[in-house]
Amino acid sequence: MDLAVLDDKILDLLIEAGASEEAVSGEIEQREIYSDEFITLTRQVNEKSQSLNEINLDTRSLDGSNSSYSKSKTYKLPKLELKKFDGELLDWLPFWSQFERIHNDPDLHDSDKFSYLVQCMKPGSRAKEFIESYPVTSKNYDAAVTALKERFGKSDLLIEVYVREFIKMIISNVKSVNKLPLDKLFDKIEAQLRALESLGLKPEENTSWLYPMVESSLTEDVLRAWQRSSLFNEPEDSDVPRLTNLMKFLKAEVEGEERLKLARSGFDNTHRKEEYQVKGENKGKFKFKKSANIPTTSGFLTTKDRSCIFCNRAHESKNCYDARLLSLEEKISKIKEKKMLFKMFRTQSCCKIL
């Protein structure tokens, strides 16, 4: 039964028994005090039980993660080879993205970090000479890294280098007779844009000068397709920059070409299988192929006017009636007069004439 219901019944009994006003007021005050204490204790118990539940959940999740981690580490990863840096500015970003994990490792001593840094320098390069100018001690590590960043890793200098490479790629593709395929061109453009973005130069915020550069690197056919695209005809006040739409269009074109190549390759394979089957069926069959360069008797006997070599009339020599009246010596003499070789005649033709 609810506690408030019991309190109301107690008050009714006091009033029916004729209790004084002070007794009724005292009972009401005690009831309120007891109610406040009960609410306070209930809240404290709930808070304690909730905290205990959270601890149990954290313990279970920790045990689960440890068990899953131990289960997942049942294989051996291949050994990673540190990328060598030779001092070329275009190689700084790949080098530092790998070495930064060593640089930020709190469990690794600075002297060990310095040793790894020296190992990452390509022998005989200017970067190697630059780092070796600092004694390999823990105190000099921070100074060496700072100097290395100022020498090779300045953002403004790297941005200038990548922009120049971008322009060089565009000019080379425009002047070249053999244009880059669209997929390779798209990969190169995207790599340059990602490099600039990693240096803090966001393509979306620099569309005004990046967009003309990318557009000018495209071939005439791709440009026409781009200008017919719905992405090109979006309003100028759109929130999406035109460079973003252009990259979306190029990506779609590259994917379309890949699908087309896949479809054609599947058809070509089927066609080749059919050819192989036909060749297999015809295997072993003798095929006589007449060469056009080998002279034959018909080449001499079959002329435009088909004149006879014995009487010069318009019929074949083997059908000549006058030749039957000639002796063998006379026939050979006429053949020699026509500058023909007797051995070039077919045996059956000669026999028929003779």
What is the spatial distance between Cα 138 and Cα 145, in angstroms, rounded to a whole number?
12
Residues 214 and 254 in one domain: yes
Q: What backbone torsions phi and psi does residue 215 show, to the nearest 5 degrees?
A: -65, -35
Residue where a domain stops, chosen among 114, 135, 153? 153
What is the spatial distance between Cα 92 and Cα 210, in angstroms, rounded to a whole number?
23
144 and 119 in contact (C-beta within 8 Å)? Answer: no
In a domain, 217, yes or no: yes
155-175 and 207-216 helices, crossing angle to 10°: 30
Residues 185 and 147 in one domain: no
Largest Cα–Cα separation, the chain:
174
**Least confident piece of the model among 45-49, 59-63, 99-103, 322-326:** 59-63
Q: Once rounded to an integer, what is the mean pLDDT over residues 133-145?
A: 90
Is the pLDDT at 302 greater than 50? The verdict is no
- At residue 104 the predicted structure's pLDDT band, cuts being 50, 70 and 90, is very high
- At residue 284 the predicted structure's pLDDT band, cuts being 50, 70 and 90, is low
**Pair of tokens at residue 123:** 């022998």
**Least confident piece of the model among 11-25, 195-209, 298-312:** 298-312
In a domain, 319, yes or no: no
What is the spatial distance between Cα 235 and Cα 238, in angstroms, rounded to a whole number?
5
In a domain, 295, yes or no: no
Summarised one tens digit per residue, pLDDT across range 70-89 is 455 566 767 777 788 999 99
CA angle 11, 15, 18 (to 5 degrees): 145
In a domain, 8, yes or no: yes
Burial class (CB in 10 A: 0-12, 13-18, 19+), 27: middle
Summarised one tens digit per residue, pLDDT across range 336-347 is 776 554 445 444
Predicted confidence at residue 303, as pLDDT, reads 43
Residues 174 and 223 in one domain: yes
In a domain, 47, yes or no: yes
Residue 196's domain spans which residues?
157-262
Residues 180 and 249 in one domain: yes
- At residue 56 the predicted structure's pLDDT band, cuts being 50, 70 and 90, is low
Residues 149 and 164 in one domain: no
Which residue intervals of the chain are DSSP H helices?
Answer: 3-16, 21-72, 92-103, 110-119, 126-132, 138-152, 155-175, 182-198, 207-216, 220-228, 242-281, 297-301, 321-324, 328-337, 347-353
Residues 164 and 258 in one domain: yes
Q: Which residue has the higher pLDDT, 227 or 65?
A: 227
In a domain, 328, yes or no: no
* Residue 315 CB coordination number (10 Å): 12
Residues 130 and 148 in one domain: yes
Residues 194 and 237 in one domain: yes
Quick one: which of 213, 91, 87, 231 has its CA closest to 147?
87
Predicted confidence at residue 103, as pLDDT, reads 92
Residues 141 and 172 in one domain: no
Residues 97 and 190 in one domain: no
Predicted confidence at residue 259, as pLDDT, reads 87
Is the pLDDT at 320 greater than 80? The verdict is no
Write down the mean pLDDT value for the chain. Answer: 76
Number of domains, the chain: 3
Is the pLDDT at 141 greater than 80? The verdict is yes
Residues 38 and 96 in one domain: no
- At residue 145 the predicted structure's pLDDT band, cuts being 50, 70 and 90, is very high
Residue where a domain stops, chosen among 153, 179, 202? 153
In a domain, 352, yes or no: no
Assign residue 18 a region (left: φ > 0; alpha: ψ between -120 and 50; beta: otherwise): left
In a domain, 317, yes or no: no
- Nearby residues of 93 by Cβ (< 8 Å), 6 or more positions away: 158, 195, 198, 199
Residue where a domain stops, chosen among 262, 282, 310? 262
Residues 101 and 117 in one domain: yes
What is the spatial distance between Cα 192 and Cα 213, in angstroms, rounded to a whole number?
12
